[in-house]
Amino acid sequence: MFGFGKKKVDKGAWAEAVYGQKLKHPEEETEERLSALTTGILMQHHRIIMDSVRIIHTTRNTDTKQGRIDLCHKHFQEMLKLKPFCNKEQLAMIQNAEEAMRGI
């Protein structure tokens, strides 16, 4: 009702994590827009990780396997940059990707 318990969000840092660069006026970005962009980015990283894990487990080519392992780690690191700004559903996506990557 009064905003108690709602965490204060650093829109500048969040926008920089989403866009990959500092914005001149990050305060103009709405939390809804940043959240939607965050979800989209996380979904892309998640899809790439899941496809790569499947390829890692099915390929016999060691170069392909190593390339996909590196790709998984790169995309997971990008997901972690967004973690401080994530809601529960977005955090679940990160956790699912982390679980899929165990053992590779």
pLDDT of 51 strictly over 80: yes
Residue 5 lies in a domain: no
2 in any annotated domain: no
21 domain-assigned:
yes
Which tokens belong to 83?
A: 């973690």
Would 4 be classed as within a structural domain? Answer: no
Instruction: Indicate the number of domains in the chain.
Output: 1
Residues 6+ positions from 81 with CB-CB distance below 8 Å: 17
The whole-number pLDDT of residue 1 equals 44
73's tokens: 């780690």
Residue 7 has a pLDDT of: 66
- Which is higher by pLDDT, 9 or 68? 68
* In-domain check, residue 6: no
Question: Does some domain include residue 46?
Answer: yes
Percent above pLDDT 70 for the chain: 93
Higher pLDDT, 4 or 77: 77
Q: Indicate the pTM of the whole model.
A: 0.90
Average pLDDT score over the chain: 93
Q: Under a CB-based contact definition with an 8 Å cutoff, are residues 42 and 94 in contact?
A: yes
Q: Which residue matches tokens 């500092």? A: 22
Range of the domain at 19: 11-101
* Residue 62 in domain: yes
| pLDDT value of position 72 | 98
Q: What is the pLDDT of residues 63-100, one digit of tens each?
A: 999 999 999 999 999 999 999 999 999 999 999 999 99
